[in-house]
Amino acid sequence: DAGVTQSPTHLIKTRGQQVTLRCSPKSGHDTVSWYQQALGQGPQFIFQYYEEEERQRGNFPDRFSGHQFPNYSSELNVNALLLGDSALYLCASSLGDARPFFGPGTRLTVL
């Protein structure tokens, strides 16, 4: 049984570019949440998707958007990248409100 998977593992972009990160949830899970973890800090909630809708959003600008597909996989899109967007992006999946399981993360570096 595969756990949560994320792609790519690492990514380097330049300021102003756009990026798409992907997440496949653990088998049987229907809810996907995204977190941003800057270096030396705890993860910060970006948003959660359930039934292909954004159910809750954290304190992030509109440059951060997402999508959930019918197979429950999800994408995180970030437009107009800033240096401060450099972070580890974590995807977590769950079955409804049950315990979340975290993926390996995508390390984004913005130059």
Partner 1 sequence: ELKVEQNPLFLSMQEGKNYTIYCNYSTTSDRLYWYRQDPGKSLESLFVLLSNGAVKQEGRLMASLDTKARLSTLHITAAVHDLSATYFCAVDSPDDYKLSFGAGTTVTVRA
How far apart (Å, rounded) are the C-alpha atoms in residues 27 and 46?
22
Instruction: Please identify which residue in 21, 92, 108, 110 interacts with partner 1, judged by CB under 8 A.
Output: 92
Q: How far is the CB of 15 from partner 1 (least distance, A)?
A: 23
Q: Bridge-partner residues for 36, per DSSP? A: 44, 89
- The piece of 20-28, 67-75, 76-84, 86-94 that touches partner 1 (CB under 8 A) is 86-94
Q: Considering the complex, state which of residue 85 and residue 94 has its C-beta at the smaller distance from partner 1.
A: 94
90 binds partner 1 (CB under 8 A): yes
- x/- letters, 21..40, toward partner 1 (CB under 8 A): ----------x-x-x-----
- Least separation in angstroms between residue 45's CB and partner 1 is 4
Q: Does 45 bind partner 1 (CB under 8 A)?
A: yes
Please give, one letter per residue, the 3-state secondary structure of 15-80.
CCCCEEEEEECCCCCCEEEEEEECCCCCCEEEEEEECCEEEEECCCCCCEEEEECCCCCEEEEECC
The C-alpha atoms of residue 104 and residue 108 are separated, in whole angstroms, by 13
* Contact pick of 11, 58, 73, 79 for partner 1 (by CB under 8 A): 58
Contact 5, 104 (CB under 8 A): yes
